[in-house]
Every structure is written in C-alpha cells, then in structure tokens.
Amino acid sequence: MLTDAFLIELKKNYFSVFEPFLDGSSFEKKEWDFVNKAGQVEVNVCRGGVFEKICISNISARVTIPERGYESGIQWLGLQTFPSNPLVPMFMGVFEQVDEQGLKHHPAFFDVYPAVPFAEDEAFLKEKIGAVCEKHNRPYPDLPESYLKMFRLEQAGTGVGYAAGLSLMPDEDNPQYLQDAALAALDSYVHLVKKRKDDEFTDAHVRAMHRFRTDWTRWTFLENRFFQGGVQLGVPVESFMIHMLPPVVRF
C-alpha cells in the first residue's frame, strides 16, 4: 500500500524495534477500503507484553482535502501505543507524504504523553528532538504553538503531552527534516520504554493512567482533527477507533 521508501522503512523499523517488548504476541492485520473507495487503510494491532495495545497503521489515498480545489495523494503512517505499566508514557505519531499539484510535502505530528510525568524524561526527549531542530535550523520547542496553528485551536488540552514533539506543517517541503524527526522520536521513545517498563507502580499510578485514557477518548471523538478530518475524507470510523482508542476506558 505504501510506496514512499522512507515510510516503508520506518514501518519495518516499528515492527522490529517493538517486537522484543511483546512477549511473543503477534500483530493482527486488518484492512479496509475508504467508504468512498478513494483509498485503503491497514491497521496492525498487537496486545501483550509491555503494551496493552500497540498499533502500526498506514493509509494510502487520493482525496480532495477540504478548502483545496484539487486532488492530493496521501501516504500516512501512524504509531499509537498504550503501555501496560502506567509509568511508561504513551506515544502518538503520524508521518505523511502528500503529493499535490506536482509538489511533495511532508507533514507530521508526534508527541509523548505521560500518565505519570517525570521531569527527567521530559528533559531527555526535548534534548533529542531539539537536536534535530537545531540541525535543520528550526525553532524549538515547537509545541504547543505549532499544534494550535495546524489545528486552529486556542487550547491544546489532551492533544499535547510532554510538548517534546513536533508538528510539521502541511507545506513542509524538507523530507530529511521529517525523516530525522521520525527516527529521533522512535529512538528516544524506545529509550523511555526500556527505562520505565520494569519500574514498580502503585494503585494511584494506575488510576492516573485510566484518568488519562478517559480524557484521551473524549479528545479523540470531540477534538482530534486527525479523526474528524479522516472521517470526512472517507476513512472508515472503525479503523480509526481500533488505532486510536485505549484497550480499556473507565468513565
């Protein structure tokens, strides 16, 4: 489904990097056509080991994006994690290649979301992602301002976690910037998974995780522009729900 060489390689990296954390569990692949037949969706979901749920998903489609009067080709790769240990943060990231009017653009968004925050983990992430921005002469920190700009919001709410990640705008034309950011995001997140996965946690930490997941679910349905915009373009609702929703939510 994907044809972009970097997104294909990044997807392979996701599978190989996270396989040691899954205690022998395997990914189950589900596929859909867009409801308007404009594209295809693939969601790979696994439950077990360090992660109650982890999803590696991709989209390939030709659609007309609202407010634009022309068709665009979109390739989209997403990673969503829900750790079993509440001290391990969640990751959400989306990396794209968009072909439009003869140009290639490389929008993206990612951040790391703690149920139980640690100042040292936030500092580590910002050091690693900040180095990418320095290499490409980009301002940092980037969030939440770029997130608010991209999604035309006044408050970030649950949409931003540590604010260590990046939001690459729809007109981003530097593929190397996206590639360096995506790899730094993966490497730094996996470092935190290894660091925190065996830490002892309390019932209070578990309650904090479930409170966060409740907020995340509300945000997904009510505020998440990826979800809302994707459904408008024809992405099947159930594919987004499998990818983005927590395995257990307590209201």
CA dihedral 220, 223, 225, 231 (to 10 degrees): 60
**Helix/strand/coil (H, E, C) string of the chain?**
CCCCHHHHHHHHHHHHHHHHHCCCCCCEEEEEECCCCCEEEEEEEEEECCEEEEEEEEEEEEEECCCCCCEEEEEEEEEEEEECCCCCCEEEEEEEEEEECCEEECCEEEEEECCCCCHHHHHHHHHHHHHHHHHCCCCCCCCCHHHHHHHCCCCCHHHCCCCCCEEECCCCCCHHHHHHHHHHHHHHHHHHHHHHCCCCCCHHHHHHHHHHHHHHHHHHHHCCHHHHHHHHHCCCHHHHHHHHCCCCCCC
Q: Where are the domains of the chain?
A: 5-243
Q: How far apart are CA 116 and CA 2, in angstroms?
A: 35
Q: What pLDDT, in 10s, does the model give residues 88-138?
A: 999 999 999 999 888 999 999 999 999 999 999 999 999 999 999 999 999
Residue 95 β-bridge partners: 77, 108
Question: Is 80 exceeded by the pLDDT of residue 251?
Answer: no
Q: Which two tokens stand for residue 75?
A: 């390739």
What's the confidence (pLDDT) of residue 182?
Answer: 98
Q: Which of 51, 55, 80, 85 is nearest to 197 (CA)?
A: 85
> pLDDT tens across 202-237, in order?
999 999 999 999 999 988 888 777 777 788 888 999
Instruction: Give the CATH number of domain 5-243.
Output: 3.40.1500.10
pLDDT of 168 strictly over 90: yes
Q: Are 229 and 61 contacting, i.e. CB atoms less than 8 angstroms apart? A: no
Residue 14 has pLDDT above 90, yes or no: yes
Cα Rg, the chain, nearest whole Å: 17
Taking only the tens place, the pLDDT of each residue in 187-206 is 999 999 999 999 999 999 99
pLDDT tens by residue, 27-75: 999 999 999 999 999 999 999 999 999 999 999 999 887 777 788 899 9
245: confidence class by pLDDT, cuts 50, 70, 90 = very high
Name which of 85, 53, 79 is nearest 246 in CA terms.
Answer: 53
Name the average pLDDT for the chain: 93
CB-based contacts of 222, cutoff 8 Å, min separation 6: none
